[in-house]
Structure 1
Amino acid sequence: MPKLDVREIPPVNRHDKIHEEFDGMDPGETLTIVNDHEPKPLYYEMAAEVPAFDEEAYEVRQNAPDEFVAEFSKSEV
């Protein structure tokens, strides 16, 4: 399962890197993203622009004040 810690990536570059990683995944895989805030804007962006994003499987948990772990799954369609 691919994992990407974006906390060290400049915010302006984060979404491009995440999209690049997601696009390279196989259907059925899940990308785990570690971020310093809840990635709701990314969720809405993926839901609107990426047909392969499985919105139903999206999960996020907060492990620390500056650590959010989100699961972005790629549908098998």
Structure 2
Amino acid sequence: MNTITAPTPTVDLRSIAPRERHSLVFSTFKALPPGAAMELINDHNPQPLRGQFESGLYGAFSWTMLESGPEQWRVQIAKPADSQPVHGVDSCCGSCGG
């Protein structure tokens, strides 16, 4: 039996206006089905973004650093297969910009 796997979306923030970056990442993450992941590419360490994930989505994501500079940073952000609706994922109060 063949299993069809959805492609991993890649969000390359290097050409996106800074004010639009975090909302793009959160909207892409929100669209992921449970068990899927996205790849983030940035021109600087995305540690502030990780802080936003931890404050609004604690326990509802995993963060794996794939490349850590000095010219580009790549991160895999995954939604657990058993994820349940939480703040910022399936509904949002707006505090994360999503």
- Where does structure 1 lack aligned partners over 5 or more consecutive residues? none
Higher relative contact order (CA 8 A, sep 6+): 1
**In structure 1, how many angstroms separate the alpha carbons of the residues matched to 2:9 and 2:43?**
18
When structure 1 is superposed on structure 2, of 64-73 and 11-20 the one drifting more is 64-73
When normalised by structure 1's length, the TM-score is 0.84
CA contact 1:53–1:72 (8 Å) conserved in 2: no
Structure exhibiting the larger radius of gyration computed from Cα positions: 2
Provide the aligned length of Structure 1 versus Structure 2.
Answer: 74
Out of 52, 68, 72, which is 2:73 matched to?
68
**In structure 1, how many angstroms separate the alpha carbons of the residues matched to 2:58 and 2:31?**
14
Q: Identity, % of aligned pairs?
A: 24
Is 2:29 the partner of 1:22? yes
1:69/1:21 Cα in 2 relative to 1: closer, same or farther (>3 Å)?
same
Question: Can you list the C-alpha shifts for 1:44-75, whole angstroms capped at 9, x where unaligned?
Answer: 10111125632xx311122x522100111112
Structure 1 stretches of 4+ with a deviation exceeding 4 A read: none
Which residue does the alignment assign to 2:53? 46
Note the aligned Cα RMSD (angstroms).
Answer: 1.5
Pick the structure with more helix per residue: 1
When normalised by structure 2's length, the TM-score is 0.68
- Where does structure 2 lack aligned partners over 5 or more consecutive residues? 1-7, 84-98
